[in-house]
A and B are shown apart, each in its own frame.
Chain A
Amino acid sequence: MAQVELHEIAHSYLRKPKGESDYALKRIHNIWDDGGAYALLGPSGCGKTTLLNIISGLITPTKGRVLFNGKDITSLPPEQRNIAQVFQFPVLYDTMTVFDNLAFPLRNRGVHRREIIQRVHEVADILDLTPFLKNRAAGLDASAKQKVSLGRGLVRSDVAAILFDEPLTVIDPHMKWQLRRKLKQIHEQLNLTFIYVTHDQVEALTFADKVVVMCEGEIIQIGTPEDLFETPEHTFVGYFIGSPGMNFLPCTLEGNIARVDDVGIPLDEETAALGHKAQGKMELGIRPSYVQLRSKQEEGSIPARIRAVEDQGNFKIVVLSLPGKTLWAKVPEGRPVPEGKAWLVFPKEKLRLFADGRLVR
């Protein structure tokens, strides 16, 4: 069991970093609760894996400290931290049997034979690997291999946190769902801290209690999947989460009205008041599923041309064009879509206002 605390972490792969841009991780400062299931989400190259390797001890950060349960472990090597890591590609000792693979971390730590047998069988049971224990690890399929690498982490009784580095990348789509469920189950059963790196938002949102969105070496937002969807703190989160991502419209404020080009969109008083206090370039954001389409003009509605309608089965994605920009609307199946031209209505409570990319609040 461990609470992981990252204290002012920054990391550069260069020996003598000069400017801000030399840092793969700029400033990470936060606490990961014991027993939480976290997903680290972000585009490739945003520093997710670097952060994970700092927690596991494979990388020593250029600056800052890592604390487990309040104890500084920044300088401890990986084997002395109570963590396990599952990598993108299954890492197996392929000359060994599944049993020997699972027993390997225990044997290295000089655990008694009887306990090894007991622990390996327990873990094999949890992971449904019991029938394969005597098989050679090299002959397994990818998802079983990945389970073996997870098992090598679970088998240690001292393990407090398990780190996953895009573990489902090489798994067949139909097995992905199963394996993800298995992970979720194990998390509930064993109550370990799970930190899961991925660039797949579906994976992150379904797996984690808390999603940590990263971009360019910084944590942009930590929140539940619902938080990220409803109130993204940054336009990046709005854009990255959801498919298609949030719509953004540059605007100016006039009282309780946000003016987009020459159309006024009413805002609620609170948002407008906050907006007047904020500085910088204003943008209005709305999720495609909250954009409503009308066939007639209404108060505060914006005219738009319908460029395309993509039928996705249980909903339609309507591509709308406004002068100079494109918007997306997600319309549930069965709801009529006007032809050619539509009037867009943005419900007040679903509109978010951003100043220089940051949510105003």
Chain B
Amino acid sequence: MEKWDNNKAWFLVLPVFAIVAFSAVIPLMTVVNYSVQDIFGPGQRVFVGAEWFKATLADRRLHEALWRQFLFSGLVLLIEMPLGVMIALAMPKRGWGVSFSLVTLALPLLIPWNVIGTIWLIFTRPDIGLFGSIINSMGIAFDHTASPLDAWITLMLMEVWHWTPLVALLAYAGLRAIPEVYYQAAKIDGASAWATFRYIQLPKMRGVLTIALLLRFMDSFLIYAEPFVLTGGGPGNSTTFLSIYLVKLAVGQFDLGPAAAFSIIYFLIVLALCFVFYQVLQNVGRGEKA
């Protein structure tokens, strides 16, 4: 066959290129542009180089927010991943129970994020909230507007309630994809329930659990709407996560330069951590034993 050379074929790539440019590259470059300038008003700008980056990296409040963010995401993953897998294992495998549990699980995922915040805000109020008033009537003082610990507990409860179903659904899909013969072979080999989980179910779920972990990490690391509605970052700064701090900086104080620098650093952290997670999970249990 004759080799066919036509550079016009490149035009076919243009639409994708244009979409990606407008949806990702141009906005990102705008942020990069802001991050190296000091902006006083329309048309009044000064190039400041890496100054905003230096200032941002040295910001003590940002450090606190970052550690808070790590603690939050770490707790979220530690609770939601095992809990989601456990729910998936306990779910029925056939019959009407399948659709029932799938729909029930999916319900929290359908609710808009700021509505979730409002629901929990009311639910945990000590005066009228079902949860808050019951706890308080049992003699335990619980108020997420006054105590940082209570605010964290409320946030974690809300986060777990909201997102564990996603992990469970993904894990369930992974479980259902395991061919029946694996279980049959395990039975014949006399494997215990734990051994079946450890050597069949868990390895076979690695793909979906990687996705679940990445999604949950990214989402929880970028969390904004729920704590904004529930606590507004308080009491004090106890629930001021990175994105809440960023919005305070950019919208509240209108410090566009530092906020842009902050955004880029934030973006790079998420990117780097996702890359590390992905690599680790891809290689876990794959390396050749000598």
Residue B184 contacts which of A78, A95, A105, A135 (CB distance < 8 angstroms)?
A78
B174 nearest CB across to chain A (Å): 15
| Interface pair B184/A85, CB less than 8 Å apart | yes
Interface size class of chain A, counting residues whose CB lies under 8 Å from the partner chain: 20 to 34
Which stretch, B185-193, B220-228, B275-283, touches the partner chain A? B185-193
Q: A108-B195, A134-B289, A135-B288 are in contact. Are A93 and B200 (CB under 8 A)?
A: yes
Query: What is the predominant secondary structure among interface residues of chain A facing chain B?
Result: mixed
| Interface pair B187/A58, CB less than 8 Å apart | yes
| Interface pair A108/B190, CB less than 8 Å apart | yes
B144-188 residues with Cβ-Cβ distance < 8 A to A are 179, 181-182, 184-185, 187-188
Enumerate chain A residues within 8 angstroms of B189, measured Cβ to Cβ. Answer: 79, 104-105, 108, 152
Enumerate chain A residues within 8 angstroms of B27, measured Cβ to Cβ. Answer: none
| Interface pair A58/B184, CB less than 8 Å apart | yes
Enumerate chain B residues within 8 angstroms of A96, measured Cβ to Cβ. Answer: 199
| Interface pair A83/B188, CB less than 8 Å apart | yes
Complex: how many Å from CA A84 to CA B192? 17
Task: Indicate if A292 sits at the interface (CB-CB under 8 A).
Answer: no
**Chain B 259-290 near chain A by CB (<8 Å), digits 1 or 0:** 00000000000000000000000000110111
B267 nearest CB across to chain A (Å): 34
Complex: how many Å from CA A89 to CA B180? 11
| Interface pair B190/A89, CB less than 8 Å apart | no
Complex: how many Å from CA A153 to CA B188? 9
Task: Indicate if A91 sits at the interface (CB-CB under 8 A).
Answer: yes
| Interface pair B191/A77, CB less than 8 Å apart | no
Task: Indicate if A109 sits at the interface (CB-CB under 8 A).
Answer: yes
Enumerate chain A residues within 8 angstroms of B290, measured Cβ to Cβ. Answer: 134
Complex: how many Å from CA A163 to CA B189? 13
| Interface pair A56/B190, CB less than 8 Å apart | no
Q: A94-B203, A95-B285, A135-B288 are in contact. Are A108 and B185 (CB under 8 A)?
A: no
**Interface centre among A97, A105, A152, by most B CB within 10 Å?**
A105
Task: Indicate if A7 sits at the interface (CB-CB under 8 A).
Answer: no
Please report A residues at the B interface, Cβ cutoff 8 Å: 53, 56, 58, 77-79, 83-85, 87-89, 91, 93-97, 104-105, 108-109, 134-136, 139, 149, 152-153
17 further interface pairs, Cβ-Cβ under 8 Å (given A96-B199, A134-B290)? A58-B184, A78-B184, A78-B187, A78-B188, A79-B187, A83-B188, A85-B184, A93-B203, A95-B203, A104-B195, A108-B189, A108-B191, A108-B195, A134-B289, A135-B288, A136-B289, A139-B288
Q: List 5 A-B contacts (CB under 8 A).
A: A91-B184, A91-B185, A96-B199, A105-B190, A108-B192
The 9 closest A-B pairs by CB, nearest first: A79-B190, A108-B190, A91-B185, A105-B189, A95-B285, A93-B199, A95-B203, A87-B181, A78-B187
